[in-house]
Amino acid sequence: MSPTATSSTAPPTLAAETALHTPPLPEEGLLDTVRRYETPEGIELELRTVGPVPRALAWMIDSAIRLLLYLAAATLFLSFGGIGLGLTLILLFLVEWFYPVLFEVYRGRTPGKQLLGLQVIHDNGTPIGWSASLLRNLLRAVDFLPLFYSFGLLTMLANRDFKRLGDLAAGTLVVYRELPSTRLSPPPAEPIPPPPGLGVDDQQILLDFGERSTRLSQPRSEELANLLREVSGASGEAGVTRLLGYANWLAGGRQ
Amino acid sequence: MRQQDFEQRHREAWQALHHLLDELERPRFRRRLSSSEQARLPELYRDLCNHYALARSRRYSPALIAELHDLVTRSHRRFYQIHNNGNPWNLLHFFIADFPATLRRHHGYFWLALALFLIPALALGVLSYHNPEMIYSIMEDGNVAEIEAMYNPQQRDDRSIHRGSESNFMMFGFYIKNNISIGFRTFAGGILLGLGTLFFLIYNGLVIGGVAGHLSQLGYHDTFWTFVAGHGSFELTAIVICGAAGLLLGHAILAPGRYRRSEALKRRARIALKLVIGAAILLTIAAFIEAFWSSLQLPPAIKYSVAALLWITVIAHLTLGGRSR
């Protein structure tokens, strides 16, 4: 299958058109770790890059797993004399340099990153391949210098994607994996037409309130609804019901 | 269009894409997909892109937008994924043809790395041949004594380089771990503006030259030179190639040319990686020769002829491999 071949014949999509109408998202000056990548379809992907602390934790978990592998190899092979020692040394070499490579290429992440919900991808959002993975892990030797990833940490703090030297050379990113969607439908309420003059952004806020309200406690919902007392003309529980009514009307229209 | 109608109308396509991705994210051998099902990916993905853009511009609820965004990300990942199949023939072809051709295309780095290695080696070799104290300026007393014992023709115990076949295999493991790691570090050091590579090349040149000069001056020719002449062909060449790869990285940062530094680094790193993989294969062969052939006790004439043959092989491989007929 070659999906790229078919895509080249695709007409300019509606997505590309509508993208023009969405206001540009503020990129500069926003203190955020989201990296935006525009796909050939004119879609902006948001990749959430990972800072030093979760990556250090993942590294520690991986180190513990490696240590167990070394111990297992040693107990297994060392009873076989010279041959066993030779095998142990080869295994040590392979695990030291290629443990992350194999996991990244076949699973997209090492077990440590898996536990923290991280994964390694190319700059353009595609899964990491052999050459990028080999590069970023060979250069780990320098990132580790002079002590405990000092160079790696300095480099990560000096660019906005938290890339260490290996990531820069290989063109890779460490990002958070998307979580399984946990969308809830808004609680049933009589649809009420919202007051005129609401902008689209205001309408979106009402929709969001509707969908989130099942996860909010009653007092918090009321607190939020009280902020919109001037829009809904009601406060407390009545205010919440009104806002939910607006949300349902916006989502489904009159029924 | 209202959000609920929108969702109702397209939910089915999203679900189909969802299931397709679930299958595609499995390892290849566990997928249960017909090719016609796989072929639906482009169409479903293109529609989804439209839906996502619409949902954003119409300000549907952020939760719906987030849900679609995650689906877009997952499909994009599969759609533009580079398919690399681990065919062992590819690696063989790479080593025989692609690797030497790449090295020749960037031969300047190779000659520079060779000079950085060879000049200190020759200099310290000559110095320590004429001055027995010279070696102590770069090595610890204990290490010198150890090496002297190893190559002493009178020595016949465990410390000698002549040993049983079982320790041959142990040494094979040791050479793999030690030498290939040195090669990798020599390469990786290149990202520090080439300084790390510079250090490793010069340092290794000094030590190897110093030891060779020192042992020759002691008169251990037959044990030392017969031992190293054979595997040296693959080993030293490979270390110099790793150095060339490191210099390639350093040069990309120092003089990126028409690209941004990050872009130049990415491009040259891909080329450098080819050299490093080739060098790692050379080092594996070297470790094999060093462990099982170099330790054999044979008349020097045989050892030197085989060594000459190995050097010719390496040079022929690097100069002729990958030339079009």
Task: Return all residues near B213 (Cβ < 8 A) that are at least 6 apart.
Answer: B124, B125, B126, B127, B128, B129, B134, B135
Residue B204: pLDDT above 80? yes
Specify if B315 maps to a domain: yes
| Region class of A108: left (phi > 0), else alpha (psi between -120 and 50), else beta | left
- The CA distance from A35 to the nearest CA of chain B, in Å, is 13
Q: Percent of chain B at pLDDT above 90?
A: 46
**Closest CA–CA distance from residue B293 to any residue of chain A (Å):** 16
Domain boundary, last residue among B79, B104, B123: B79
Contacts of A169 in chain B (CB under 8 A): 191, 249, 265-266, 269
Final residue before a domain boundary, out of B45, B79, B113: B79
DSSP state of A133: H
What is d(CA A171, CA A185) in angstroms, rounded to the nearest whole number?
A: 40
Q: Are residues B49 and B194 in the same domain?
A: no
Closest approach of A225 to chain B, Cα-based (Å): 17
Residue A14 has pLDDT above 50, yes or no: no
Q: Which two tokens stand for residue A226?
A: 């009280």
| 8 Å CB contact between A103 and A110 | yes
Residue B112 sits in the same domain as residue B155:
yes
Say how far apart CA B86 and CA A130 lie, in whole Å.
Answer: 10
| pLDDT for residue B244 | 96
Same structural domain, B73 and B95: no
Q: Are B51 and B152 contained in the same domain?
A: no
> According to the model, what pLDDT value does residue B160 have?
53
Q: Nearest chain B residue to A85 by CA: give it.
A: B170
pLDDT band at B119 (very low <50, low <70, confident <90, very high): very high
B90 vs B236: CA distance, rounded Å? 25
Is A200 a residue whose pLDDT tops 50?
yes
Q: Contact A127/B50, CB-based, under 8 Å?
A: no
C-alpha–C-alpha distance, residues B322 and A141, integer Å: 31
Residues B57 and B114 in one domain: no
Nearest to B190 by CA among B248, B238, B262: B248
Instruction: Kindly tell me if the per-residue pLDDT of B157 is higher than 60.
Output: no
Q: What average pLDDT score do residues B281-292 get?
A: 92
As a whole number of angstroms, the distance between CA B241 and CA B103 comes to: 8
* N- to C-terminal Cα separation, chain A: 45
Q: Of B79, B111, B135, which marks where a domain is finished?
A: B79
The tokens for A228 are 């919109």
User: Residue B184 falls within a domain, yes or no?
Assistant: yes
Tell if the CB–CB gap between B169 and A139 is shorter than 8 Å: no
Nearest-CA distance A178 → chain B (Å): 6
Q: What percentage of residues in chain B have a pLDDT greater than 70?
A: 94
Task: Indicate the pLDDT class of residue B250, thresholds 50, 70 and 90.
Answer: very high
pLDDT the model gives residue A248: 84
Considering only CB atoms, which chain A residues are within 8 Å of B63?
181, 183, 208, 211-212
Query: Is residue B325 assigned to a domain?
Result: no
Taking each continuous run of H as one helix and of E as one strand, the counts in chain B are: 13, 0
Q: Does residue B235 fall inside a structural domain? A: yes
């030197």: which residue's tokens? B304
Question: Do residue A131 and residue B273 have CB atoms under 8 angstroms apart?
Answer: yes
Which of B49, B57, B61 lies nearest to residue A41, judging by beta carbons? Answer: B49
pLDDT tens figures, A27-81: 555 667 888 888 888 888 888 899 899 999 999 999 999 999 988 888 888 777 7
Of A42, A18, A187, the C-alpha closest to B55 is A18
pLDDT on residue A40: 84
Q: Tell me, what's the ipTM?
A: 0.86
- A146 touching B, CB under 8 A? no
Domain with B154, as residue range(s), is: 88-320
Same domain, B191 and B260: yes
What's the CA gap between B185 and B280, in Å, rounded? 12
Domain count of the fold of chain B: 2
Longest dimension (CA), chain A: 85
Task: Give the pLDDT confidence score for residue A22 in this predicted structure.
Answer: 46
Distances (CA, A) of A254 to A199, A200, A240, B113, B195: 19, 18, 19, 77, 71
Q: For chain B, how are helix, strand and coil distributed in percent, rounded to 5?
A: 80, 0, 20
Read off the pLDDT band of A21 (50, 70, 90): very low
What's the predicted TM-score (pTM) here? 0.82
Q: Give the residue-averaged pLDDT of B292-306.
A: 86
Q: In terms of domains, do B228 and B313 share one?
A: yes
DSSP B191: G
Distance CA(B53)–CA(A38), nearest Å, equals 12
